[in-house]
Structure 1
C-alpha cells in the first residue's frame, strides 16, 4: 500500500547570534539547552548547509532536499516545481532579538544572482511579542541621496535618516529587497522570506564579539543594493476577523494570510493553489485534521508544511489560536527560476 504525503514537521535549526536571547525557549519551547544567545530558529529551510530534516511520521529523518527529489510536484505543486525544481523557494524563521540586529539590506534577484548565484531576499515580519517601547527600523524617512546616506553613515548618524516604528504583537512589516531595515531589541517575530542567506551589514553599532572583534560591514556592496526612496507607510495595515482568513501580504514571492480561530473548525481546500501551504502557529494551539480523521497538533512555535498533493484538510481550535498561512503566488506556466541548478 502506497504511503501518502502528510503534514510535515521539521527539526528546528538553532542559530547562536551576538544579539540572541532566551525567548525561543521560554516562549516557543525550543530546545536550546543552557544557551542564552539563540537568536534564530530556522523552521523550514532549503539553504545549502542548513537543510531541514523531517521530525514526524514515516519520513522522519529525511531532508527537505530528499523529499523534493522523490515527490517533486506532489510536494510543492506542478508550476512551483517547474519553476524552482529542487530549490525550495521559501525560508521560515523565528527571531529573538535580545539586542538590536545590525542595520542591513538585502539584494534583489538580479544582483543576488550576479554576485552570489542566489535568490534575492524579500521578506516579511509578523511580530509575536514585543517588550514595552520596542522598535524596529524599516525604510528611509524621506527620499535620500547616496551622498546624504554616506555622510550620515560616516558620522554615525544613520538613524536620523531612517524610519523607526514602535511595535506590538500582531504588527506586520513587508521588507522588499533593497529596503534598509533592522529588528530592534526586545522583539520576537516570525520571518517569511525567499530562500537566501545573503545580507549586507551596513552598521553594527560599533559592537564587538566575545573575542573583541568587530563584525564585517558591507558598505560598498550595500550601496548598489539600497533603495533610497523614502516616506509612505511601511507598516502593513490589516483587520483580523475572528474565525476567518485575512490576507495580509501578497507579493511575487509569497502570499501570507492570518487565520484567527476561536473554538471553531475551519475547512480548507487547496485545489486551485497548485502550491504547498506552510502553517506557522504564532499563538495558542490547534489540530490539523486530514485524510480520514488523521490529526497533527500545532502549538505556538510549530511550523507545518502541507504538501500540495494534500488537497483538503481542516484546522480546529478548541480555544484561541492564530496561524500564518503561507503559499506561493500563481506561477505562470513555463516560467523557470534563473538560479543555477534549478
Structure 2
C-alpha cells in the first residue's frame, strides 16, 4: 500500500492565532488554534490529499485495509494516534484528561495521554505541568476560593524540547508557544480554570470541576523523559524522545544526505511528521520506487507493508516519527 498525506483540519480556538496559517494554506480571519494533520476522530476526520487513495478518509483506509493502516497491534479499533500542530496565541485553559477506564465509563471514548514537541517558544517560555494539591478536598476548596493559580507548577521550555503529559496530569500551554502534539485518539478535556475570560458572546467557557476532581492524580507528578541517542553520524541524528504504552516518538534530523529507516514497530504503520525543512521520502510499493516530496507541516502514515523507507534532504530536514506497539485494550479499559 501507498504512504498517504492528509489535508489539515483547521480548528478555531479562542486562544488561537495566525502565524501557522500560511504553513497550512488556511485563509480566514478567525483565530486558528489547532491543525489536525492525522486524525480518525469524528470531530476532525483526516482525508487523503493526493495519490491513488485521494479523497478517502482515514476511517475508510482502516476499514478497507486494516493490516496496512492499523496494523497487527493497536490499542484502539480506529487509528489510535491523533496528531496536531498547536499555536497558542493566548494561554490555554488549565485542564486535565481522563485515563481510558474513566473515559470509557463516563464519556464513551478513550483517555488521553499526550506529548508536545516544542516548535517555538518565547525566551522565557514555560508550560503548566502538574500541581501541588494534596488531595481532592484541597483542589475543590481552591476552586471555590478562586485560588487555583497558587497550586500550579510551571516548567520552562525551549525549542526542540519534549514535554510528556500522561492522562490525569493538570496542564496548559501558555501564550506564544507552538507545538506538535501526539496523543491518543480522543477528544475529552476537563477544564479547571480559564483565566476568567469570556467568549465572543460575553460568556465564560464551561468548566468541568467535578469530573476534573475525579481524575486528577493527587499522588504522582509527571516524570520527565530522558532522550536517548539511537544513531549519530555526520548529517544524521536519530533520538528517541519518549516511549510509553500508547506511543513512541523519535526525532530524525538530516543535513545534505539520505538515511534509511526501518519501521518502528514491524507489523504496524509509522507516522512521519515534518517539523522543519524539506526533502523526499522514497519507498518500494508493488515493486516500484515511489518518491514523495515532503515539507514542514506534512504528516504521513507509512503503511505496515512498507518495511523500510528512505529520507533524503539537501537543505535540511527535521521529522518526528510516531508509532505504537500495544495490543487492543481489554473491555474494562476502553469503550
Structure 2 alignment gaps of length 5 or more = none
- Count how many residue pairs are aligned between Structure 1 and Structure 2: 327
Q: Judge which range, 194-203 or 45-54, deviates more.
A: 45-54
Q: Does the 8 Å contact 1:90/1:194 carry over to 2?
A: yes
- Structure-to-structure mapping, 1:1-342, within 5 angstroms: 5-26=1-22, 29-80=23-74, 84-85=76-77, 87-140=78-131, 142=132, 144-229=134-219, 234-238=223-227, 241=232, 243-270=236-263, 273-291=266-284, 292-331=288-327, 339-340=334-335
CA distance in 2, matches of 1:23, 1:153: 34
CA distance in 1, matches of 2:264, 2:136: 48
Q: Judge which range, 217-226 or 279-288, deviates more.
A: 279-288
CA distance in 1, matches of 2:330, 2:309: 30
Deviations 1:54-80 (A, max 9, x none): 002011001111111111112221233
SS at match of 1:207: coil
CA distance in 2, matches of 1:90, 1:310: 19
Deviations 1:66-97 (A, max 9, x none): 111111112221233xx633x11110010000
SS at match of 1:78: coil
Q: Does the 8 Å contact 1:172/1:237 carry over to 2?
A: no
Q: How far 1:271 moved relative to its partner?
A: 8.5
Q: Does the 8 Å contact 1:171/1:235 carry over to 2?
A: no
- TM (norm. structure 1) is 0.90
Q: How far 1:117 moved relative to its partner?
A: 1.2
Q: Does the 8 Å contact 2:264/2:270 carry over to 1?
A: no
CA distance in 2, matches of 1:335, 1:197: 18
Shift of the 280–272 alpha-carbon distance from structure 1 to 2, 3 Å rule, reads: closer
Q: Does the 8 Å contact 2:133/2:151 carry over to 1?
A: no
Q: Does the 8 Å contact 2:101/2:334 carry over to 1?
A: no
Q: Judge which range, 44-53 or 252-261, deviates more.
A: 44-53
Q: How far 1:299 moved relative to its partner?
A: 1.2
